[in-house]
Structures are given as structure tokens and as C-alpha cells.
Amino acid sequence: MNAIGWPNWRRLNQEGIVFAIAILLFAAAALGLPGFLTADNLVAIVRSVSVLGILALGMAVVIIGRGIDLSAVAIMAMSVAWYLQLLNTGTSDGLAFVYVLAGVLAIGLLNGFLVAYADVPAIFVTLATGSFVFGYVRSQLITQDAVPVPGGHWVELLGGVRFLDIPVEVFVFAGLAFLVFLFLRYTKWGRFIYFAGDNPVAARNIGVPVRPMLVLRYVLSAFVALIAGLLTAASLHSINTRIVNSTLLYDIVLVAVIGGIGLSGGRGGVRNVLVGAALIGILLNAMTIIDIPLLYQNLIKAAILLGAIIVDGIINPRDEQTAQQGDI
Amino acid sequence: MNFRERLQAWRYNLVPDHLVGEILTKRWTDNAIPFLALVATLGVFGSIIPGFFKLTSLQESTRQLGEFSLVVIGMTVVMLGGGIDLAVGSIFALSCFSAVYVFFILEQSIWLALAAALCTGLVFGAINGYLVGYLRLRAFLTTLVTFIFGRALFDILVTTYAADVQLSQASSDVLDFIGDGTFWGLSISVWLAIVLAIVTHIALTRSRPGWHVLAVGGSRRSAHNAGIRVRRTVFMTYVFSGFCASIGGFLIACRLSGAGPGTGLNLEIMALTAAVVGGVSLGGGRGSVVKGLMGAIIVLTMTNGLIRLGYGTGTNQMVLGILLAVAVTIDIRWLKNRHKVLNEVYVAPVYLRMGETQSAAPGSGTSYELDNRLSVADHIGLGELEGPEDVILDRDDHLYCGTRHGEIVRFFAPDYVKSEVFAHIGGFPLGLAFDRSGNLISCVGAMGLYSVSPERDVKRLSAETARSWTSIVDDARLRDPNDCDIAPDGRIYFTDSTKRYDAHDWALDSIENRATGRLLVYDPKDGSTKTLLDGYRYTNGVCMAHDGKSLFFAESWACRVHRYWLEGPKAGTAECVIRDMPGYPDNINRASDGNYWMAWLGMRTPSFDLSLRHPDMRKRMTRRLPQDEWLFPNINTGGVVKFNEKGGIVDAMGDLTGGAHPMVTSMREHKGFLFVGGILNNRIGRYRIAGADPNWTSPASYWGAKP
């Protein structure tokens, strides 16, 4: 934007391009696909990306701080599965929730500690903890792949809450997005995340508590995953742990990266998540309406993600001078 | 000696603390942790699973191990090059499908199926290599995405063609043999894995492309600056990984005669875990094929063992997660802290109680009494020289000395104003001696024993001696050759001051005070080097006695001079002739009056002598204090001492003003003058000796009058 407010086309960034593509795709789908431009379908689109968007918000905060959280989906599914299992086996609601909160907090802390204090690359830490969380909960704590929500429980009731015919997760997504926006834009701690993501050493030198902040981000991401898991269980009345082995994790990264949040950190914000979620939501919905099989949808999503990473690599090239050895 | 001191002496002189540091300097310690893990894993699972080590059971599990090892070898090479390849699972699955498709559906020969599998792997690897190598994308995410892409493609293909494969009538003896047969008791997949592992190992350790991979992984920027084509090297590692995974895929196609949705599932995280558990470092440059294979065996034994023990769904992922997290953390922490730990534990001081000494202070009336005579010496090369440790004069009166820059400088007679670089050797030339035919022999610090001919040809005579069986640190290498002298028969006797420290770390050696100095001999007849004596505290100057039947050598940190007999009844033995001197002796040379000159590089102080009785204090000092604040031998004052054949002190002189020759490491008498050098000095001194023979020269004393 220049002084008068006209967009400066020469400095068109990824976010702008993706937004334009999303609008074009929306227009094309609205014109070409029957039943696309109906109120119900539009609500369905927003609803379908709500959980994805919520997870992407958590991922965005981590990525802006130059990290990544590959354990998000495992935490999301397994924490809720354990919670529901505890309820089904008769543990009181309050106690069960405290257990699960403690578990989620522990995994977030573990991720953060290993990344911040043991200097292990985030990608390996979270890959390992994700695998561990899934394996531990699946083999030790729950008995089958899918755990149903007990009848009449508040999670089930939550799934039925509607306001103006719009399901509750949409509001949760909107509310969380607004909160994360405020946090990143207007609080000191939010700005610190950008500093640390842009140049961790410089941030540390000016006195930013880089390591505690790193831990905080992974804990935040873990709690966001728990919220997303509860909403999933609310709308489906059960949680299926097989989701951990699906491509959901890559969809989250896709939403964040395609919206223009650079993987090298320090760039992007909530708006980028919204743009990315819009594009992916429209795309998935359109593909479902055209009746493309799920397997082919995966192929198309992978191709788009690959394209997004290539574009990201060109727009935010890795700085060979400051890139550390072993930064893979 | 009171009880506390006796305890200290036992504790620090009998407990071999220094071995810990020496072991840590070894590269093989990197292999020790994964190897112990391997032994523990095999031990635990072998003992709790009945029949684990039975031949048939092993044949079945090694078949899978062969396929898995192939994939891990590819992953190892990529990781050594500084990348990571998560797409191996997809490449494996797609190659498997290619082979199945060509063989069962197109009903072509098995060899064409192999070609199809390899082709798939190479193309997929090339795509990864192009994206990561040439486009410089992040390896982890990029290969993760190509992995998803490949997996999606595979799922589509498998669901489309599953029925056709089931109905196919194609069969082949070769396929059955590859899938089920054994050759000398081992399955084909194991043989292939062994062959590929050996080839890859040789390529990595002994070929140019392999070195390029390790160089790129070790430091991308340096590799680029050294002219290595970094991008192409990275590209090739991914192609190789694709190749390895495709062989694995082909083998499983033969073994299972088909491809299913489970083919290659979780293979990427297993292979990654195997490589990291084996000790292949993330970020590249460190690791080997053997480590990758050790990791492969550990991971496969654990996951298969848990299945056979009947643990349910998810256990594998849990174990893999724990293994990966622990291994990665250990790897990172080990790499980061290894040199810190090494610095902390390497210095392991011992207890020594120095004997009472006589004072060297002026007016004390002892024979060691120092004065200011050397302060009036003329200077040669003032400001031009850095570190003339030893000085020597040839038959034409030219003066030679070594310098800190690895050069031997020659000053021209008669005024010693003009100079030239006589020869460049490198290292730090220390002790000098002329042999019978006028070659200049030099002990070069950190390098070895060298000879410079009058025509200035530099030749290495010796850089190593025999390796002793009990030493952990490599004591074959000469770390600090210090001074040499030549016997009438041409053999060169020289000292190597310490086995544990490099020449420039002499201060650490003095603080540790461990007796590791040696006396060695080089025989020019057969070029061999032998160790004659071992276990002295910093052996230093060597000087042949006037009759050539024995030699004197100095033991600096113990302030002693020993005599080593070459002939006579005591041949091969050493006896101490001067003990408990007030100064640290350095070089020893002949004097014109039949006595010997000895340099003192520094003087003993009561404080350092006391600290030698407190090894614990010195240990704390090296760990907690900055180097500038360490207590070590005083080298601000030295001197020149003359002693006779029996070890009696004849004369002592010094420069107590500290202006010209505060510390002395060498002196050479020549035609009535004494030429004085110091390793930390910036000049050579020339001092007229009262009453000395004005015609006596050292070459004539050694080799007779001019021929």
C-alpha cells in the first residue's frame, strides 16, 4: 500500500497472490459448480476449515518464531482420545480434564525444553514426540482406534450449539484468530516472537528471553491442539486416532505456508492464516463437489504444497551467511 | 611427608586420570555408544524372545533387515551430505509397485522389472535432489512433501491394480529365488546389503566423490570455497538414496510377490531413527555406513521384537519416538560438548615434591649465583627475529637459528648484519646440529627430525617412532622434538619432550608435570627411529660428551641433568649427574675448556614448587581460571651455567636486568664468543667469554679440523 492507499502491484507478495487466486477460484466455483454458492455450502466451507484454521493458528505462532510443530495432530487426537477414554471408564470429569491438561502441558514443555535448552532441531523433536504421543496413548491408555463421546457430556452438547445457524467452531476459530492477532500485534511478547524468529541471536543480545519464549510457543501450540481436538470430537461425537496417520498435519503446514508465513521465521501473521485457510477451504470444497476421490485430493494437495514450498524458497531464500550448519 | 600429602601422591600418581582425556580424543568413542546400544538390544531381546538366535528365525528376520539396511545406507549418505531424505518410504513403495507392475501385469522378465524399479528410484531421487540440491529448498519439508506426493500416488496405483496383480499368472524361478532362496546361508537381500555397504563405505572413505559428500556435509561454505560443486554433490546423494531405496523395493516385491497398502509404511521414520541411533549426525559430515547399519539392526530388532512379544498397536511408534528423541538429543549434546568435556578433563596433574635447592640469588655465595654479565652482550638481528630457540655456527662462521615462522635464518660472518632465509621447513625449528658432511639437522617442533643440506634441500628424517602397546594416546608421532646431537658414528640422538601435548602447549605440560618425555635415536644407516628412554619430565637439551662415549640430556620440569652412556660398562643406562638445580635446564652444548654450557629457560619459584605438591589445586586452576592467571614456571629470568664432566657447577651467568636475555634456551661457543638465543627473545646475543680459546669451534670439536 502506498500513501494514497492503492495497492502497489510491483510489490505483490505471496499473500496477495494467494488471496487473488482464492477469489478467482471462488468466482469460478460459484459460476461453474452447482450448489457452491448457497448459504449452507458457504457455512460448510467455513466449518470445514475451522479446525484446520485453529491448528494453523498454533502452527503459525511456532513457525513465526522459526520453529515447527509436527506433533500438533498427535496431541490433538490423542489428548482428546485419552480424555474420552477416562470419562468412559468412569473417571470424574474434573479429574480427567486435569490429567489431560497436565499431559498436554507436559508434552508442550518437553517439546519446548528440547528445542530451547538442548538445542535439538524442532523438526526432529516434534517428529519424535508426535510419534511417542501417538504410540504411548494408543498402546497404553486407550483400547481401540476410535473413542466415542459419552452421551450427554458437555463435549457432545458443544457440538450442537448453533448461533445464527452457524456452528460453534466457526466462532471459536474467529475468536482465537482475533486473540492471536491481538497477542502477536499488540503485546510485547508477541513482538518478541517476531524478533526471535527473524534473528534469534540478535534477539537474545538485546535481552529478549528467547529460550523461555520458545518453550511458551510449544506449550501454546499444544493447548491450541487440545482445543481443536475437543471441537473435532464435539462435531463428530467421537475422535478417531487414525487421523494422526492422515495428511491433516501437512494440511496445517500447507495453510500456514501457502498463506505466506515464511518457514525461515519472523514473517507473517494471522491474516496469512486466514487467507491460506480460505484457499484450502474453497479448494477442498470444490474438489468434493466435483467428486474427486480422496486419494486424488491428497495428490493435488501435495502438489500444491510442493509448489508453495518452492515459491516460499524463492521468495524467502535461505540466507547462506547466517543459516546454521545442520539447519535442515 | 605428612599423611595428607601421601594420600595426594597416591591419588594423583596412581589413578590414571589422564586416560579419560586420551580416550575422549579418539574418534572411535563416537562409535562406542551405538555399539553398546546394539549389544544391549541384542542381549535383551535375544534373552527374552525364545529362539531369537535360531538359524531359521535369523534367516527370516535378516531378510527384512537386508531390505531395511539398503534404505538406511541411502539415508546415511544423504545425512552425511548434510541433508535428509524422508521420501525413502515412498520411493521404496513406488519402486516395489513398478517391479510388480512390469512383472505381473505387463508379464515381462524379472530383469526388466528390476530396471523399472531402479528407474523409478533414480527419477524420484533426482527430483528430490533437484529440489534440495539445485533449488536449495529445506530438505526436511521438501522430502516430506514429495513423500506425501509419492504415497498418494502409490495408494492410487495400488487400489487401481491390486486385483490385476492377484489374477496374474506370471511366475519366475529367479523371482522366487530372490524372494525366498538363500546363498551360503544368507538371503539375497542380506548379500546385496553387505555388498552395497562395503562399496559405499569404500567410496565414502577412499574416493573423491565420497570425500566431497563428507566435505559438503561438514561445512557447505568451506566446501564451496574449496571448489567442490556443492549443489551437484547434494543432488547425487539424493539420487543414491533413491537408488538404494529402489533396490529395497524390488527385493520386497520379490519376497511378497505383490504390493499392498502397508508396503513401506513408516519406513522413513524408521530409517531416520536407525541412522540417528547409529550415530550419524544431523547436519552432516560425521558418521559412517557402519554406524547406519548398527542403527538399522537396533531399530529393527526393537520393533520386530516388540511385535513378537505381543505388544499392541502403537507400541512401535512409541518406541521409535523415544529412540529418536533420545538419540537426537545425545547426538546434539555430544557434538556440542565433547570438546568442552575434553578441555575439562584432559589436564590431569600429578604429585611431585621437588628437592631442596641452592639459591641462585646474587650474593648468596653458591655456585649457582647469577649476575648481569649477559646484559652487556652485543645483539644480532634485533627486531628481525622471533624465537631463535637454538643457534649454531658452521665452519665458515655463519650463524644459523630457527624462527617461530618455520624458517632457518642465516646471518653472515663476520659482522652478522646481513641475513637470509636459509631454508623454510614449517613447524617451529628448535634444536640444531651439524653432521659430519655439513648437513644441518633440526628438531622441528610439531613435525619431526629434519635435515637441511648445504644446498638447502630439506629432507624429513623421522616423524615417528615405535608405537608402545600400552599407550592410549598415539605415542608413535613425535609431538615435541626438542633438541638433538650427533654421535661420532653418525647416529642422531634427540629428545621428544612430551607425548600428551603439542609443542606450543608446553605450559600445560609443566602444570600437569606427567613424566612422558623421551630420548630417541635416529640411525641414518637404515632410517629407523628407536625409543631409548621414556618417562622423564620434559626431556630437553642433548649434548654429546667430549669423548663421544656418553651424552648429557636435560629434564626440564624436574631440574635435572642426566648422563646416558653409549659405550662402556654402563652402556644403555642413564644416571642423574645434576639434581635439584634452581633453574629449568634447556639446551646443553660443549664448551672450549672441556666443560659444558647449559641454558636455563626459567627459574624455580617456591610458589610453583608448592603447587606441584597440590595436584588438586592445579586441576582446579586449569578448569576454573582463565589461562592468563595460571601459575606456571617462571620464565622471566634464566641464565647460562657451565658444568664439568662430573656434574659440578663451574660458572653461572645471567641478565638479571631482564633487558637483553631474560630467559635463555640455547648458547653456542664459537671462537671465544658465546652466542645466546631464547625462544621468547627477539635477538641473538654475542658475549665475549673471558679467557676462552679464540680458535675453538664446535664443528671442529665434533668432526675435526676442516678437511
Q: Give B141 to chain A, closest Cα distance, Å.
A: 8
Whether chain B has a CB inside 8 Å of the CB on A21: the answer is no
* B328/A295 touch (CB, cutoff 8 Å), yes or no: no
Distance separating alpha carbons of residues B219 and B483, to the nearest angstrom: 39
What is the distance in angstroms between the Cα of B72 and the nearest Cα belonging to chain A?
Answer: 17
* Residue A218 contacts B where some CB pair is shorter than 8 Å: no
pLDDT value of residue A326? 44
d(CA B683, CA B391): 11
Task: Answer yes or no: are the C-beta atoms of A266 and A66 closer than 8 Å.
Answer: yes
Contact with chain B for residue A325, Cβ under 8 A: yes
The answer to whether the Cβ–Cβ distance between B321 and A295 falls below 8 Å is no
Q: Which of B136, B140, B159 is the closest to A123 by Cβ? A: B140
B89-93, B133-137, B177-181, B387-391: least confidently modelled range: B177-181
User: Counting beta carbons within 10 angstroms of the beta carbon of residue B500, is it exposed (0 to 12), middle (13 to 18) or buried (19 or more)?
Assistant: buried
What length does chain A have?
A: 328
What residues of A are in contact with residue B146 (Cβ under 8 Å)? 302, 306
Q: What is the pLDDT of residue A328?
A: 54
Where is average pLDDT lowest: B62-66, B455-459, B540-544?
Answer: B62-66
- How much is the pLDDT for B413? 86
Closest chain A C-alpha to B240 CA, distance in angstroms: 19
Residue B505 makes CB contacts below 8 A (sequence gap 6+) with none
Query: Does residue A261 sit at the B interface (CB-CB below 8 Å)?
Result: no
Q: Which of B222, B225, B198, B221 has its CA nearest to residue B210?
A: B198
Nearest to B145 among A130, A306, A326 (CB): A306
Q: Where are the alpha helices (DSSP H) in B431-566?
A: 506-512
pLDDT of residue B450: 95
- For residue B530, give Cα distances in angstroms to B449, B465, B476, B522, B662: 13, 6, 10, 7, 36
Q: Are B314 and A135 inside 8 Å of each other by CB? A: yes
Order the strands of the B448-452 sheet from edge to edge.
B428-434, B440-445, B448-452, B458-462
CATH number (domain holding residue A223): 1.10.3470
The Cα of B190 is separated from the nearest Cα of chain A by a number of Å equal to 29
In which element (H, E) is residue B541 found? Answer: strand B539-544
Strand residues in B425-516 grouped as ranges (E): 428-434, 440-445, 448-452, 458-462, 481-486, 492-496
Going by C-alpha positions, the residue among B704, B702, B350, B688 that lies closest to residue B515 is: B350
Report the residue of chain A nearest B272, measured CA to CA.
A124
pLDDT per residue as tens digits for the range B684-699? 999 999 889 999 999 9
Asked, for residue A218, whether it belongs to a domain, the answer is yes
- Contacting residues for A106 by C-beta, under 8 A, at least 6 apart: none
Give CA–CA dist A156/A165, Å, rounded.
Answer: 17
Residue type, B548: G
Residues facing B652 on adjacent strands:
B641
Residue A134 to residue B314, Cβ atoms within 8 A: yes
Would you state the pLDDT for residue B654?
92
Specify whether the CB–CB gap between A18 and A141 falls below 8 A. no
- 3-state SS assignment for residue B465: coil
Cβ burial of B647 (10 Å; 0-12, 13-18, 19+) is: middle
Q: Given this model, what pLDDT does residue A10 score?
A: 46
Q: Residue B418: pLDDT band by 50, 70, 90 thresholds?
A: very high
Strand ranges for chain A from DSSP E: 146-148, 162-163, 166-167, 238-240
Residues 6+ apart with CB under 8 A from B340: none
pLDDT score, position A9: 47
**Min Cα–Cα distance to chain B from A251, Å:** 11
- A11, amino acid identity: R
CB pairs under 8 A between A and B: 151
Mean pLDDT of chain B: 88
* 8 Å CB contact of A309 and B284: no
CB B122 within 8 A of CB B73: no
Which residue in B has a C-alpha nearest to residue A139's C-alpha?
B314
Q: For residue A199, give every residue at least 6 positions away whose Cβ sits within 8 Å of its Cβ, in sequence order, or none.
A: A266, A322
Are B315 and A135 inside 8 Å of each other by CB? yes
Contact B314 A139 (CB under 8 A): yes
Q: Cβ of A294 under 8 Å from any chain B Cβ? A: no
* Domain definitions of chain B by residue range: 16-343, 373-465+476-702
Measured between alpha carbons, how far is B579 from B556 in angstroms, rounded to an integer? 11
CA-CA distance, B490 to B461, in Å (whole number)? 13
Tell me the CA distances in angstroms from A159 to A40, A81, A154, A222, A230, one per residue in order.
17, 16, 9, 21, 9
- For chain B, say whether A143 makes contact (Cβ under 8 Å): no
Q: Is residue A322 part of a domain?
A: no
Min Cα distance B452 → chain A (Å) is 44
Angle between helices A39-64 and A248-258 in degrees, nearest 10: 80
Q: What are phi and psi of B394, to 5 degrees?
A: -95, -175
Q: What is the pLDDT of residues B247-291, one digit of tens each?
A: 999 988 888 877 777 777 788 888 988 888 888 887 778 888 988
Name the minimum distance, in Å, from the CA of A4 to any CA of chain B. 37
**In chain A, which residue's Cα lies nearest the Cα of B216?**
A325
Cα–Cα distance measured from residue B587 to residue B595, given in angstroms and rounded to the nearest whole number: 14
Regions of chain A short of the pLDDT cut 50: 1-10, 322, 324-326
* pLDDT (average), residues B222-243: 90
Chain-chain contact of A130 with B321 (C-beta, under 8 angstroms)? yes
**Chain A CB contacts of B325 below 8 Å:** 114, 120, 124-125, 128-129, 132
Q: Which CATH architecture has domain B16-343?
A: Orthogonal Bundle (1.10)
Q: Could you tell me which residues are beta bridge partners of residue B542?
A: B553
C-alpha cell at B516: 612422558
**Cβ–Cβ of B321/A306 closer than 8 Å?**
no
> In this predicted model, what pLDDT tens digit does every residue of B268-279 receive, in sequence order?
888 988 888 888
Residue of B nearest to A71 (CA): B321
Residues of chain A with C-beta less than 8 angstroms from the C-beta of B319: 135
CB contact under 8 A, A135 and B321: yes
Q: Which of A211-220, B202-211, B668-677 has the highest mean pLDDT?
A: B668-677
Burial B404-438 (b: 16+ CB within 10 A, else e): bbbbbbbbeeeebeebeebbebebbbbbbbbbeee
Written as nine digits, the cell of A322 is 547466517
Q: Which of B140, B146, B280 to mutate to test the interface with A (most CBs of A within 10 A)?
A: B140
Taking CB atoms and an 8 Å limit, are A310 and B131 in contact across chains?
yes
User: Is B138's CB within 8 Å of A132's CB?
Assistant: no
Q: Do you know the residue count of chain B?
A: 707
Task: Give the pLDDT confidence of B306-358 residue by residue, as tens digits.
Answer: 877 777 777 778 888 888 888 888 877 877 777 777 777 888 999 999 999 99
Task: Give the residue from chain A lying closest to B332, CA to CA.
Answer: A120
Range B373-465+476-702 has CATH code 2.120.10.30:
yes
Q: Phi first, then psi: give them for residue B647, nearest 5 degrees.
A: 95, 5
Verify whether the Cβ–Cβ distance A298 to B152 is below 8 Å: yes
CA distance B238 to B233: 9
d(CA B412, CA B398): 5
Domain residues for the domain of A174 are 36-315
Angle at A311 between CA A308 and CA A314, to 5 degrees: 150
pLDDT at A7: 47
Q: Cα angle at B13 between B8 and B17, to 5 degrees?
A: 105
- Which of B138, B284, B324 has the CB atom closest to A124's CB atom? B324
Residues B79/B280, Cβ–Cβ less than 8 Å: yes
- Whole-Å CA distances, B683 to B57, B401, B502, B601, B688: 77, 10, 25, 15, 16
User: Across the interface, do A129 and B284 touch by the CB < 8 Å criterion?
Assistant: no
Q: Alpha-carbon dihedral of residues A177, A178, A180, A183, nearest 10 degrees? A: 170
Nearest to B208, CA basis, from B229, B231, B222, B193: B229
Peptide bond between residue A293 and the one before it cis (omega within 30 degrees of 0): no
Collapse the DSSP code of B367 into the 3-class scheme (helix H, G, I; strand E, B; otherwise coil) and give the result. Answer: coil
Measured between its terminal Cα atoms, the distance across chain B in Å is 59
- Res A323: pLDDT: 53
Closest CA to B100 of B222, B294, B223, B259: B259
ipTM of the complex: 0.81
Task: Tally the domains of chain A.
Answer: 1
CB spacing of A132 vs B318 below 8 angstroms: yes
C-alpha distance from A246 to closest chain B C-alpha (Å):
10
**Residue the block writes with cell 506433533:** A71
In a domain, A57, yes or no: yes
* Nearest residue in B to A144, CA atom: B313
Q: What is the pLDDT of residue A167?
A: 79
Report how far residue A41's alpha carbon sits from residue A274's, in angstroms, rounded to the nearest whole number. Answer: 18
Question: Across the interface, do A328 and B318 touch by the CB < 8 Å criterion?
Answer: no
Cβ contact, residue pair B325, A325, below 8 Å: no
Whether A23 is covered by a domain: the verdict is no
Q: Does A103 touch chain B (CB under 8 A)?
A: no
Is residue A327 situated within a structural domain?
Answer: no
Answer left, alpha or beta for residue A26, where phi above 0 means left and psi between -120 and 50 means alpha: alpha
Q: Do A310 and B82 touch (CB under 8 A)?
A: no
CA triplet B628, B632, B636: central angle to 5 degrees? 85
Question: In this predicted model, what pLDDT tens digit does every residue of B10-42 receive, in sequence order?
Answer: 999 898 888 888 888 887 777 787 888 888 888
Residue of A107, A309, A315, A322 to mutate, testing the B interface (most B Cβ within 10 Å of its Cβ): A309
Pairing outcome for strands B378-380 and B684-688: antiparallel
Give domain status of residue A26, yes or no: no
A7-30: pLDDT as tens digits: 444 455 667 777 788 888 888 888
Distance from C-alpha of A43 to C-alpha of B355, rounded to nearest angstrom: 95
pLDDT at position A5 is 43
Average pLDDT over residues B412-417: 90
Amino acid, single-letter form, for residue A275: V
pLDDT digits (tens, 9 = 90+) for B431-490: 999 999 999 999 998 899 999 999 999 999 999 898 888 888 888 989 999 999 999 999
Eight-class DSSP state of B634: B
